[in-house]
Amino acid sequence: MSNSPVQDVTSADLACNAGTKAVSGVCAVAAGDTVTLEMHQQPGDRSCTNEAIGGDHFGPVQVYMAAVDDATSAVGADASWFKIFADTWAANPSATNGDGDYWGTNDLNSCCGLMSVKIPEDIAPGDYLLRGEALALHSAGSTGGGQFYMTCFQLKVTGSGTAVPEGVSLPGAYAASDPGILINIHATMTEYTAPGPTGALQSMSFHSLFFSLLISSCCILFHLADIIRDSVLGWFNEERWRSMRGV
């Protein structure tokens, strides 16, 4: 798995990162459960004294799911993805440009890289891929300057739901000219539209402090490539490693 950004929105790496492959493990979650993702810019650095996404890498954080026949062999670039969460942008009245506004990455930094997301209650049971994405916009003023950081996890969702949300292709859903990808955040901003389908089931654009308080009970540390149900204690169990897409 690479911690270098994907900047070509037509690349198959946009789905689940570069150099990843399916693994044998699957993490079981129930529809309606909350899962927590953790993102850090440097491998092995999970210190809360360092910004999770630093270097003025401001931008939205989004989470997708894709129903697949078998999560242990599914290819992310072939899947149909539906968005379940978006923490994007909100204006800061005291800011003079977009750098000073409120972004999803600010919220990650406020809680040591953690982002809690609810699995939709009504989706049909079965195997899924879960995809977390952070988009850094500090160099997005020119085509190809947006930097995507993502990873995928293998899930088996239980429950009695029947919903099969309409999905999009990744790559395919994003264009380099999309206003949420090609944008100068160093100028004054009055609006922002994140890339991809609209109507995410959960969305956030709150002040980062409020968000950090909202999810403070979920501040259990684990790596970008780990995922665990909030209800599970003892996250050190090796099962947490079995659902991540490895190299």
Share of the chain above pLDDT 70, in %: 79
**The length of the chain, given as a count of residues:** 247
Pairwise CA distance, residues 89 & 102, whole Å: 6
Instruction: Give the CA distances from residue 71 to residues 27, 163, 226, 242, in Å, rounded to whole numbers and listed in that order.
Output: 10, 18, 16, 12
pLDDT higher than 70, residue 181? yes
- Taking the whole predicted model, whether its pTM rises above 0.75 is answered as yes
pLDDT band at 239 (very low <50, low <70, confident <90, very high): very low
Residue 103 identity (one-letter amino acid): W
pLDDT greater than 50 at residue 81: yes
Type and span of the H or E element at 154: strand 147-158
Rounded Cα gap, residues 120 and 84, in angstroms: 7
Strands 147-158 and 27-30: parallel
In this prediction, residue 229 carries a pLDDT of 27
- Written as one string, the DSSP assignment of 12-61 is THHHH-TT-B--S--EEEETT-EEEEE--SSTT---TTS-TT-TT----E
The pLDDT assigned to 19 comes to 85
Report pLDDT for 104. Answer: 95
**Confidence grade of residue 69 (pLDDT, cut at 50, 70, 90):** very high
Half-sphere exposure of 214 (CA within 13 A, CB side): 14
What is the DSSP-derived secondary structure letter of residue 221? Answer: -
Query: Residue 153: which pLDDT band, with cuts at 50, 70 and 90?
Result: very high
pLDDT in tens, 206-235: 433 333 333 332 222 222 233 322 222 222
CA of 11: how far to CAs of 131, 133, 246, in Å?
16, 15, 19
Q: Kindly report, residue by residue over 26-54, the tens digit of the pLDDT.
A: 999 999 999 998 888 888 888 888 898 88
Whether the CA torsion 87, 89, 91, 97 is positive or negative: it is positive
Q: Judge whether residue 95 has pLDDT over 60.
A: yes
Question: Burial, 142: exposed, middle or buried (Cβ in 10 Å; 0-12, 13-18, 19+)?
Answer: exposed
Structure-block tokens of residue 120: 């939709």
Q: Could you check whether the bond before residue 171 is cis, i.e. omega within 30 degrees of 0?
A: yes
Give the position of tokens 């005291």.
94
User: What is the pLDDT, as a whole number, of residue 231?
Assistant: 26
